[in-house]
Amino acid sequence: MQEVVLDLEFIIGHYNYWLFVILMMTGLYITVSRGNLIKKVVGLNLFQTSVFMLYISMGKIEGGTAPILTGDPNTVYSNPLPHVLILTAIVVGIATTALALALVVRIGEEFGSIEEDELIEIEHELDFAEESAEASPVPGQGDANKGEPGGK
């Protein structure tokens, strides 16, 4: 790695990237620390949008204009390639968000909760019930447990 000098010019040239890293980490924090599944999806969206901003900022040229042909041969255009990549990424992102939210709805219907802590508890209970059912096979107990968590 080449020698990095932390002077004012370097900071002005790089603060954009650091700001996006801060936003990305906020998104990651929401995803990791919050128990509510909808909020986790929001955190993931935040992270994703910050990555988009990082990519777009790489394509920017100082003094450039949006990549739409002006007819003037001296025009400097910003790089259109990151824009194309991110257009695709936005649409793929909404597809994954829709899928994640559909899964959240199904989890909510099946277990009556979309909080991670409660879901882990329910999972433990189910495991425990399964084990005890295997240890002493009581007729009908397996069916009762299967229907229990939904409750509706």
Partner 1 sequence: MMTGISLAAIVNVLLFTFLVMTAIAIVRVRHLFAVAMLSGVFSLLSAGLFVALDAVDVAFTEAAVGAGISTVLMLGTMALTVTREKTTKRSPVLPVFVCVVTGAALVYSTLDMPAFGTAQAPIHEHVAPDYIARTPDDIGVPNIVTGILASYRGYDTLGETTVIFTAAVAVILLLGSFSRKKQKRTDKE
Site for partner 1 in 60-79 (CB under 8 A): 60-69, 76-79
Q: Does 95 bind partner 1 (CB under 8 A)?
A: yes
Residue 8 neighbours by CB under 8 Å, 6+ apart: none
Candidates 115, 101, 121; CA nearest to 35 is 115
Given candidates 8, 74, 80, 141, which one binds partner 1 under the rule CB under 8 A? 80
**Interface segment toward partner 1; rule CB under 8 A; list 42-50, 125-133, 134-142:** 42-50
Q: Does 123 bind partner 1 (CB under 8 A)?
A: no
Q: Does 99 bind partner 1 (CB under 8 A)?
A: yes
In the complex, the smallest distance separating the C-beta of residue 141 from partner 1, rounded to whole angstroms, is 17
Q: Does 17 bind partner 1 (CB under 8 A)?
A: yes
Q: Does 24 bind partner 1 (CB under 8 A)?
A: yes
- The label of the residue with tokens 């559909």 reads 102
Angle at CA of residue 58, ends 46 and 7, nearest 5°: 100
Q: Does 98 bind partner 1 (CB under 8 A)?
A: yes
Asked if residue 79 lies in contact with residue 65, where contact means CB atoms within 8 angstroms, the answer is no
Candidates 114, 84, 83, 93; CA nearest to 44 is 93
Given candidates 7, 8, 72, 91, which one binds partner 1 under the rule CB under 8 A? 91
Q: How many whole angstroms separate alpha carbon 123 and alpha carbon 107?
A: 12
